Amino acid sequence: MPQFEQVEVFHSLIFWSLISFAILFFLLKRFAFPPILEVLEERENKIRSEIGDAEKLRQEAEGLKADLGRELKNAHEKAQTIIQMAGDESKKIQEKSIQETQVKVRQMQNDAEQEIQITRNKLLNEIRSYTAALTMASTEKVIKKSLSDDDKKRLIDESIEEVLREMESRGV
Amino acid sequence: MIENVISKRYAKALSGSIADESALRRALDNLKDFGSAFETDRQLERFFSHPGISVAKKNALVGQLCDRLKADNVVRNLLGILVQRRKILFLKNIADYFESVVDERLNQVRVSVISAHPLTGENIEKLKTGLNRIFGKTILIETTEDQSLIAGIQLQVGDQVADATIKNRLAILKRTIEKEEVA
């Protein structure tokens, strides 16, 4: 091929190219690479440090998450306890209220029964009193009409005996 | 109450000044008459309680009344003292106390008998005999009639009452009916 026919030219070119590359490489290694490497290293360290920070943060976040989880659990348990207590208290209040109402109802019932009894007794007393008065009035009339003179004398004799007995029994 | 104390004192003083039993009875009758006169005639009470009327005038009226009632001197004297000491209005009380003092001295007791129908002499004698046996004193019986008692008698000696009338029995029966429990 014609291209490979000019190898002589190319040998020199390749040589100088290598020399210039070497010089360039040397220069670069000498002056350019160290700051670049330094920057890179710095960058790497920074990244490593950031990764470490991130890891730490992640761990902290995990810790916080775990804490929050525990707290949430505690809060949930507390909430459950409060709900339970509220439920128990409510139940107690309800039971107390029912008992009080029952007592009141019983009291009202007793009062009503007592009132009924009083009214009944009052009525019975009135009826008895009226009956007694009526009986006495009729008896008095009948006795007055039916008493003969002999009866009157006999009753006087009997009553004399009775009052004397009574006076004697009193031990005057 | 002071009235009772004063009346008692005068009654005892009057009794102490009379020794004779018949005079004691007469004095009692006189005092009772005066007491009744004061009770029935309110003008007498007004006359003797009036502060504007002099003691002399009051004494003069007492004298006239004593003459009319033929009162003994001892009663006259007592009335004179009562007018003078402005105690004449206690006369009814004094008479009542004097009666009890006289009864005590004469060993007698007054019995009030209320009957629905008139009592015979036999009834009264029976009562007197029976009560004399119980009290051991002479019995003075005062009888009154009250037809509302229906039948029987009620006897009162001092503050004690023995009731054997039909009215009382009916009252007891009435109370029993009223107290009876209904099932």
**A4 — pLDDT class (breaks 50, 70, 90):** low
Chain A residues inside the 8 Å CB shell of B178: 125, 128-129, 132
Tell me the CATH number at B9.
1.10.520.20
Residues B159, B77, single domain; the answer is no
Structural domain containing residue B115? 107-182
| Token duo for residue B170 | 């009916």
> Does pLDDT of B149 surpass 60?
yes
B20/chain A closest Cα distance in angstroms: 29
Residues B157, B71, single domain; the answer is no
Chain B residues inside the 8 Å CB shell of A172: 134-135, 157, 160
> Does pLDDT of A10 surpass 90?
no
Query: Strand B138-145 relative to strand B108-115: parallel, antiparallel, unpaired?
Result: parallel
> Does pLDDT of B21 surpass 80?
yes
A114/chain B closest Cα distance in angstroms: 17
Domain closes at, from B104, B132, B150: B104
Residues B174, B90, single domain; the answer is no
pLDDT-above-70 percentage for chain A: 94
What count of CB pairs under 8 Å joins A to B?
89
Residue range A37-61: average pLDDT?
A: 89
Q: Which of B162, B16, B28, B35 is nearest to B100 (CA)?
A: B28
Least CB-CB distance to B165: which of A136, A159, A167?
A: A159
Q: What 3-state class would DSSP assign to A72?
A: helix
Residues B100, B112, single domain; the answer is no
**A3 — pLDDT class (breaks 50, 70, 90):** low
Question: Alpha-carbon distance A39 to A44, whole Å?
Answer: 8
**HEC per residue, B143-165:** EEECHHHCCEEEEEECCEEEEEE
Residues B76, B29, single domain; the answer is yes
Does B124 reach chain A within 8 Å, measured CB to CB?
A: no
pLDDT-above-70 percentage for chain B: 98
Residues B40, B77, single domain; the answer is yes
- What pLDDT score was predicted for residue B177? 81
Q: What's the total number of domains in chain B? A: 2
> Does pLDDT of B130 surpass 90?
yes
Domain closes at, from B84, B104, B124: B104
- What pLDDT score was predicted for residue A120? 93
Q: Which residue has the higher pLDDT, A44 or B2?
A: A44
Chain B residues inside the 8 Å CB shell of A137: none
- What pLDDT score was predicted for residue B45? 82
In this prediction, the answer to ipTM > 0.90 reads: no
Question: Alpha-carbon distance B103 to B111, whole Å?
Answer: 11
**B14 — pLDDT class (breaks 50, 70, 90):** confident
* Contact present, B74 and B27 (Cβ < 8 Å): yes
Domain closes at, from B54, B71, B104: B104
Q: Which residue has the higher pLDDT, A4 or B139?
A: B139
Question: Which range, A39-43, A157-161, B47-51, has the best average confidence (pLDDT)?
Answer: A157-161
Question: Alpha-carbon distance B30 to B36, whole Å?
Answer: 10
Residue range B143-149: average pLDDT?
A: 93
Residue of A nearest to B129 (CA): A164
Residues B75, B129, single domain; the answer is no
**B35 — pLDDT class (breaks 50, 70, 90):** confident
Domain boundaries, chain A: 2-170
> Which of A128, A163, A165 should be substituted to probe chain B, the one whose Cβ sees the most B Cβ atoms within 10 Å?
A163
Q: Which residues contact B87 (CB under 8 A, 6 or more apart)?
A: B6, B10, B81
- What pLDDT score was predicted for residue B6? 85
> Does pLDDT of A5 surpass 70?
no
Question: Alpha-carbon distance A46 to A40, whole Å?
Answer: 9
Residues B95, B154, single domain; the answer is no
